């Protein structure tokens, strides 16, 4: 019989708790990297990566020759990023900070990769206005979000969904990842309980349950948020290959600049 050890955490400590799982499960995700490299081409000055986590995006850009600055408020996630940066001897600055307290520099490219803006809940306009102030006059901001229309159409069945199995190299353990999601359509809130079942050497299972709250943002809403933040949408894509944003797309990739 397997022994289950369960642990629950508060939303604000989510990334500190799941950092080693996050690094292991996302290290091979590269779908968006060529797109960011295209936007970085020809840009002078450092590239700002908001919510850089374990450095997946900004360390890749540093590897291909760009100076990057990654900002995140999770010390555990940044610890992974710093170890990788130092091992590769990359020109990448990593800063532990709330992005609203980060005020250094003007940037030709600001990235909010995979779902980052969804974490700010009621602060989207505050964050976007702040980042607009950090954007160079001819700079671009790229925001990657899911297509909220597709998610809002899904049923709240409260089913436990198997996501993936992966190897976690620090412990040497196999981890089975599952999730339970519910959507508050009135508030456009996605609540996810991530479940990590880690198989220990003695064949028992240690379970970590990590709740996460994300704010869904629709296409009409992002257009309004941009206007209120004195930003102008240049392009709206539905995938990482720059396909058009349309009904049925999985992603909503926003490319914006300062209002002129």
Please write the tens of the pLDDT for every residue from 43-102: 988 999 999 999 999 999 999 999 999 999 999 999 999 999 999 999 899 999 999 999
To the nearest 10°, the Cα dihedral for 152, 126, 128, 117? Answer: -40
Query: What pLDDT score does 44 carry?
Result: 85
From-to residues of CATH 3.40.50.150 in the chain:
23-147+217-258
Query: What pLDDT score does 13 carry?
Result: 85
Dihedrals φ, ψ of 171, to 5°?
-85, -25
Flag whether pLDDT at 12 surpasses 80: no
Calculate Rg over the CA atoms of the chain. Answer: 19
The alpha carbon of residue 30 and the mean position of all alpha carbons in its chain are separated, in whole angstroms, by 13
Flag whether pLDDT at 10 surpasses 70: no
Domain covering 23-147+217-258 in this structure, CATH number: 3.40.50.150
Query: Looking at 17-21, 78-82, 157-161, 250-254, which range is the least confident one?
Result: 157-161
Dihedrals φ, ψ of 208, to 5°?
-115, 125
Range 200-220 average pLDDT: 96
Q: How far is CA 42 from each of CA 38, 65, 77, 106, 200, rounded to the nearest angstrom? A: 9, 11, 29, 16, 48
Over the stretch 120-148, which tens digit does the pLDDT of each residue have? 988 999 999 999 999 999 999 999 999 99
Flag whether pLDDT at 107 surpasses 70: yes
pLDDT band for position 5 (cuts 50, 70, 90)? very low
Classify each residue of 82-93 as buried b or exposed e, where b means 16 or more C-beta atoms within 10 Å of its C-beta. Answer: bebbeeeebebb
Flag whether pLDDT at 205 surpasses 50: yes
pLDDT band for position 6 (cuts 50, 70, 90)? very low
* Strand ranges of the sheet holding 231-237, from the earlier edge strand across to the other edge: 92-96, 68-72, 47-50, 107-112, 135-146, 251-258, 231-237
Query: What pLDDT score does 50 carry?
Result: 97
**In terms of Cα–Cα distance, which of 66, 91, 70, 73 is closest to 81?**
70
The average confidence (pLDDT) of the chain is: 93
Range 163-178 average pLDDT: 97
Q: Which pTM does this prediction carry?
A: 0.93
- Between CA 75 and CA 235 the distance in angstroms is 34
Helix (H, G, I), strand (E, B) or coil at 68: strand
How many residues are listed for the chain in this entry? Answer: 260
């Amino acid at each position: 019989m397997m022994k289950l050890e369960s642990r629950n955490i508060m939303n604000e400590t989510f990334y500190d708790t799941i950092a080693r799982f996050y690094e292991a499960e996302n290290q091979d995700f590269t779908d968006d990297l060529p797109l960011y490299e295209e936007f970085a081409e020809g840009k002078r000055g450092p590239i700002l990566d908001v919510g850089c986590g374990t450095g997946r995006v900004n360390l890749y850009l540093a590897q291909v020759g760009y100076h990057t600055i990654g900002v995140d408020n999770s010390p555990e996630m940044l610890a992974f990023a710093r170890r990788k940066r130092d091992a590769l001897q990359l020109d990448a600055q990593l800063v532990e900070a709330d992005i609203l307290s980060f005020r250094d520099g003007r940037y030709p490219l600001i990235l909010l990769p995979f779902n980052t803006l969804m974490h700010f809940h009621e602060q989207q306009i505050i964050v976007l206005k702040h980042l607009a102030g950090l954007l160079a006059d001819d700079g671009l901001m790229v925001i990657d979000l899911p297509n909220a229309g597709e998610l809002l159409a899904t049923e709240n069945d409260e089913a436990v969904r198997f996501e993936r199995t992966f190897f976690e190299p620090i412990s040497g353990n196999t981890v089975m990842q599952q999730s339970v999601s519910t959507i508050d359509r009135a508030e456009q809130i996605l609540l996810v309980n991530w479940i990590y079942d880690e198989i220990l050497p003695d064949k028992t299972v240690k379970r970590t349950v990590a709740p996460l709250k994300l704010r869904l943002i629709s296409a009409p809403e992002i257009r309004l948020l941009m206007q209120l933040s004195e930003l102008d949408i240049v392009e709206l894509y539905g995938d990482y290959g720059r396909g058009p944003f349309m009904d049925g797309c999985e992603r909503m990739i926003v490319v914006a600049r300062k209002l002129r």
